Amino acid sequence: MGKVTVVKLGGSVVTRKDKPFTVDERTLKRLCEEIAASGKRRLVVIHGGGSFGHQIVHDLRLLPPSRSADRIGLAKVVKVMDDLSSHVVNAMIDSGLPGVLFPTFAVAVSRGARVKDLFMKSALMALEMGLVPVMRGDLCCDEATGYAVVSGDVVVEALARRAAVEKVIMCIDRDGLESGGKVLPCVRMRDRSYEGALWEGEAVDVTGGMRHKLEALRPLAKKGTGLLLINGRRAGRLLAALRGGRTVGTELRW
Ligand code: IP8
């Protein structure tokens, strides 16, 4: 089985942070078209929660997890993420990408917000059939806390533990990690020397922002998986990254 490329569509890229529960249709369409134009098909697409998931978890005060949390509230989180996933899958199909959804809630169990079990057989078979599995950050049943909000980056790492992933391209709403106003082309993860380049986002983020993202990806850097942060809001960068060409962004190495 050939190696897989993972594209993470950050929630801050595919939704509008100024408008809760609103998809950035134009950006989503363009990103899907860039994926389609790259010709890559051994792909898994993972999207974040953006102004859908983060907003509802925040509004309904579902974190930290509580045994007595309103069950309708929990169901609403999955429903809202289903809505966002459905936009992603529609945009993929419209661009000629055979996206099929594997909702994380249905295929994963977490323990302390880390993925413990991930049922991958159907997604891997779908990949072999030439389909493009779509997963996401999501609410999960959690062995320690009843439920947890698992970020898409944690799903990326869990997936890479179970499938041969050669490259992860993370589309965020910045050019990469920066120092002194300049994008850092490469950052070493071994000693967390990137800490000074992190920022606090302005949008509601219930899964811990950039710090949490990078922490989730550290084991992949250690394994030697190619990791690239690029700006999904700039046209052409995802396409260049998928083609393996040079583009503005930050490579994460061990
Ligand atoms: O945006 C969060 O996923 P992320 C998922 O990848 C929810 O951190 C439901 C907020």
Q: Is residue 206 within 6 Å of ligand 1 at its C-beta?
A: yes
Q: Is residue 226 within 6 Å of ligand 1 at its C-beta?
A: no
Ligand 1 centroid to residue 81 C-alpha, Å: 9
CB 119 within 8 A of CB 108: yes
Q: Which residues contact 165 (CB under 8 A, 6 or more apart)?
A: 3, 4, 5, 6, 44, 159, 220, 225
Ligand 1 centroid to residue 151 C-alpha, Å: 4
Closest ligand 1 atom, residue 8 Cα: 6
Ligand 1 centroid to residue 83 C-alpha, Å: 14
Pairing mode, strands 43-47 and 178-179: unpaired
* CA pair distance 142, 67, nearest whole angstrom: 11
Q: Is residue 55 within 6 Å of ligand 1 at its C-beta?
A: no
Q: Is residue 53 within 6 Å of ligand 1 at its C-beta?
A: yes
Q: How confident is the model at residue 196 (pLDDT cuts 50, 70, 90)?
A: confident
Closest ligand 1 atom, residue 50 Cα: 1
Q: Is residue 232 within 6 Å of ligand 1 at its C-beta?
A: no
* CA pair distance 47, 143, nearest whole angstrom: 24
CB 88 within 8 A of CB 167: no
Query: Both tokens of residue 73?
Result: 């509230």
What is the assigned CATH class of domain 4-253? alpha beta
pLDDT, tens digit, 9 for 90 and up, residues 112-140 = 999 999 999 999 999 999 999 999 999 99
pTM comes to 0.96
What is the reported pLDDT for 144? 97
Is the pLDDT at 82 greater than 80? The verdict is yes
What is the reported pLDDT for 1? 60
Q: Is residue 153 within 6 Å of ligand 1 at its C-beta?
A: yes
Query: Both tokens of residue 96?
Result: 């000629």
Query: Both tokens of residue 169?
Result: 């391209």
Ligand 1 centroid to residue 123 C-alpha, Å: 20
Is the pLDDT at 201 greater than 80? The verdict is no
